[in-house]
Amino acid sequence: MKENSARVARPIDQGDWNLAFLFPEEVVDARQRVGLIVLPIAPIEWHGPHMAMGCDNLLAHAFARRLTQELRCPYYPPLFIGTERERDQDMLESIGFSRDEFIEGMDHPKNSIKSGYYREEVFSIVVRDTLNILFDRMQFPRVLIVNGHGAYNQSGVLTRLCKEYNASSKIGKRVMWVYPGFPRSLVAGSIAHAGSEECSMLEAMWPGCVDISKLPKTGKLKNIDFAIVDGETFDCVPTEDHTVRDKQDPRLHTDPMWGKDLIEEAAREVIEEVRNTLLVSSR
C-alpha cells in the first residue's frame, strides 16, 4: 500500500498510548525506556438511571490515558471485568434493606438491569492471567493496575495478587493498584457510588455519559430506589431515612470542572507515587 502524502493522525499523536493502536516497535521502545504498562480494569455496573453502566471502567480508561501521557508508556486495552459479593447484614441495614435480604453489590431489586459481575474466582484467574501476559509474554517489568471498582472483594483480590507478585520479585516492587480520579482526600473513608463526585468525573472525561434529568427533579433519593449510596452510608453511618446526603446528591453538585480537577489532583498523586515506589528501582 502506498504511503499517504499527508500522514493521518493516530491516537498516540494526541497522547493516547492505548497498546491496541501502537506498532510493535513503539511498544518495545516504551518498554525499554520506562518498563511500565498500565492496566485499567472494572466491570459493567449499574450506576443509577442517570449514568452510563461503563462508568467505573470509563473512569479507569480515562485515568490510565492521563497517566500514560506523562509517563510515556502504554496502557493495556481496558478490561471490562469485575466482581462483587452479597451485602452483609450491617451494610444492608445501613442502605435501608432488611437484614435478611440477599443483595449482590449494587444490584438492587428496583434496578431495570443487573450488572456484569464475574464470580470472584473467575475475576482472580483473569487478572492473574493478564498479569502473566504482561510480565512473561510481553516482558514488561512493572504493571500499574487502575482499579475502577471499589468492591471489598475486588480490592482484596488485587491486593493479594500484588503481594504475591511483589514477594517473588527480584527487582523490587513490580505491581501496584490505584483508584482512578479519587485523590487521597476522598479515599480516607468509603467512596460514594453514583454520587456527585463520580458524576462530575464521568461527565468531565466522557461528556454525554451523565444525564441528571433521568433522576426525579425533587425529593430525597432513597438508597434502595436508585442504588445511589454516599460514603458515610457505606461506612454504616446512614441518614435517618436512608437517603443520599445533599453533598453527594448528583442533582445538586455535578460539575465537570470539579470532576476534571479531581482527576488531575489524583493523577499528580499517583504519578509521584509511581515514580517514587514502582519505578525507583529502575533508575
Residue 265's pLDDT is 97
Residue 6's pLDDT is 67
Domain extent, residue 138, equals 11-188+264-282
Q: CA 143, CA 177: separation in Å to the nearest integer?
A: 9
Cα-based torsion angle of the residue sequence 252, 256, 258, 259 in order, rounded to the nearest 10 degrees: 110
Full-prediction pTM beyond 0.85?
yes
Q: How many separate domains does the chain show?
A: 1
Task: Tell me if 21 is assigned to some domain.
Answer: yes
Residue 282's pLDDT is 54
Task: Tell me if 220 is assigned to some domain.
Answer: no
Task: Tell me if 195 is assigned to some domain.
Answer: no
DSSP letter (8 states) at residue 14: G
Angle of the 256-273 helix axis to the 196-205 helix axis, nearest 10: 90
Residue 190's pLDDT is 76
DSSP 214-252: GS-SSS--BHHHH--B-HHHHTT---TT-B--GGG-HHH
Weakly modelled stretches of the chain, pLDDT under 70:
1-6, 189, 281-283
Q: CA 105, CA 219: separation in Å to the nearest integer?
A: 25
Task: Tell me if 210 is assigned to some domain.
Answer: no
CATH code, domain carrying 163 = 3.40.50.10310
Task: Tell me if 256 is assigned to some domain.
Answer: no
Task: Tell me if 18 is assigned to some domain.
Answer: yes
Task: Tell me if 4 is assigned to some domain.
Answer: no
CA angle, corner 218, sides to 212 and 220, nearest 5? 95
Residue 3's pLDDT is 57
Question: Which set of grid coordinates corresponds to residue 23?
Answer: 506498532
Task: Tell me if 44 is assigned to some domain.
Answer: yes
